[in-house]
Amino acid sequence: MLKVEDNELLTRVGPRAPMGRMLREYWMPACRSASLVADGAPQRVRLVGENFVAWRGTDGRVGFIYEACPHRGASMALARNEHNGLRCIFHGWKLSVDGKVVECPAEPADTRDAFAARLKVGHFPAREAGGMVWVYLGKQAEPPPFPEFEFNNLPDSHVCARRALVHYNWLQGLEAHIDASHVGILHSGFLNAGKPTAISARDLGLAAAHKAPRTEMHVTNYGLREGALRDLGDGKTYARIRELVLPFFTFIPHAVDEPCSGRATVPVDDEWDAEWYIMYDTQKPLTPETIELLFAGSSGDPDNFASNLGGPENLWHQDRGSMDRHFSGFPRSVPFEDFIIQESMGALVDRSGEQLGRADVILVQVRRMLLDAVRDFEAGKPAPWNIAREQYPNIRAIATTIPTAMNWTELNAVETFREQAAE
């Protein structure tokens, strides 16, 4: 369990909260690149408790600013998008893609340019990669190195990134992705579904048959590697090796013949979370059939694929009549089962009443790491985990069978995939 004050420290993400200030020091996904059209409608984006606007200028560049016009606070989501800038429809102030006020038509002509040059705009660095617009909201004059994950350097046809907006705190989302022991229980209904899912039948079957994995962890300078180990006998162990790149990213274990899968858990505010699901294949383009395995039963809206999730008022559309065939009664998809469980806890969980077991050891470890990080940050130390950027291209999770005598920390997922693909 956590002390109430520690839970508050981990979960509050607004601009005045210590965790909120620290999270702003990392590049984070903000919206899908495809949702922004040159000279098209600006898009409202809420992140870490504040409201922003993203838009694409005439030349294709992306601008990212506070939603409130720096003049009188009118919403720039209502603005005209023209000639590489947003023009407020209230008094006509025009803000350029690079964050400058370039026109103030209601000001006297002889002082207009000098007046505009003195104005400040809440403008933030933005980059596009992996089908997403990323932003840096921190205070450093020079942003940290950009996270060059594998999926950020692949052709568009090899990557699919979609977002779900879910009604729970960001820490609940992160903890769902690192909880290895629930896989063989919550998701076990898909074993009887008679169709493939985001988790292969083989891996899901092994997880369901061995419900209590032995969990081991290896702390890295980018976060944590977790080995969920299930002894199979005959000198073999089924190892699900997860990569946690703090503070936002989790890479989900998968077999060599499956696409890679990553998650980004990005706080919208204290009670809402943006869950980014990123599927990618380093060798070939993704097919619609492959993508459907992960997003089956979704709303079809790539900007919020869980808009049809339901809520407590209808018990998230649980089908109790199907529970003789599907364990949870939520047969739509694996992601939806995770979303529903987290929402069912409430928008912001009070962890002071938890009763944890050995299966929760990774949660305890990650909470401790986050608490130490935010306290050090408040004491004046730099935000951690930004120092490992050169390792990002080689971070990949894996689910495979290894000799029981083998040390799982020595397993290199990229090399193992290459070797097994060549066999």
Pair type for strands 236-245 and 249-251: antiparallel
Q: What one-letter code names the amino acid at 171?
A: L
Q: How far apart are CA 383 and CA 377, in angstroms?
A: 6
Alpha-helical regions (H) of 153-300 = 170-178, 183-186, 201-209, 288-295
Task: Classify 93 in phi/psi space as left (phi over 0), alpha (psi -120 to 50) or beta.
Answer: beta
Locate all alpha helices (DSSP H) within 179-333, ordered by sequence: 183-186, 201-209, 288-295
Residue 15 pLDDT exceeds 60: yes
Query: In the numeric block, which tokens belong to residue 249?
Result: 């990213």
CB neighbours of residue 379 within 10 Å: 7
In whole angstroms, what separates CA 225 from the centre of its chain? Answer: 17
**What is the pTM assigned to this prediction?**
0.93
- Coil/strand/helix, residue 255: coil
Q: What is the pLDDT of residues 210-224, one digit of tens each?
A: 778 889 999 999 999
What confidence category does residue 386 fall into, taking pLDDT thresholds of 50, 70 and 90?
confident
Q: Which fold has domain 150-422?
A: Naphthalene 1,2-dioxygenase Alpha Subunit; Chain A, domain 1 (3.90.380)
Q: What is the mean pLDDT of residues 133-146?
A: 95
Q: What is the tens place of the pLDDT at every residue in 53-91?
A: 999 999 999 999 999 999 999 999 999 999 999 999 999
Cα separation, 262 vs 251, in Å, equals: 4
Q: What is the pLDDT of residues 325-379, one digit of tens each?
A: 999 999 999 999 999 999 999 999 999 999 999 989 999 999 999 999 999 999 9
Largest distance between two CA atoms of the chain: 86
User: What pLDDT digit, counting tens, does each position of 154-191 carry?
Assistant: 999 999 999 999 999 999 999 999 998 888 889 888 87
Whether the ω angle into residue 285 lies within 30 degrees of 0, i.e. cis, is no
Q: How far apart are CA 344 and CA 311, in angstroms?
A: 8
pLDDT score recorded for residue 193: 62
Which one-letter amino acid corresponds to residue 355?
Q
The CB-side HSE value for 170 (13 A sphere, CA atoms) comes to 30
Instruction: Put residue 106 in one of left, alpha, beta given phi > 0 → left and psi -120 to 50 → alpha.
Output: alpha
Per the prediction, the chain carries an average pLDDT of: 92
Tokens of 85: 């800038």
Chain segment 288-339, per-residue pLDDT in tens: 999 998 899 999 999 999 999 999 999 999 999 999 999 999 999 999 999 9
**C-alpha torsion sign, points 105, 107, 110, 116:** negative
| pLDDT-derived band at 192, boundaries 50, 70, 90 | low
Q: Answer positive or negative: Cα dihedral of 179, 180, 182, 186.
A: positive
Domain boundaries, the chain: 28-135, 150-422
| Distance of alpha carbon 236 from alpha carbon 229, whole angstroms | 10
* Superfamily name and number for 28-135: Rieske [2Fe-2S] iron-sulphur domain (2.102.10.10)
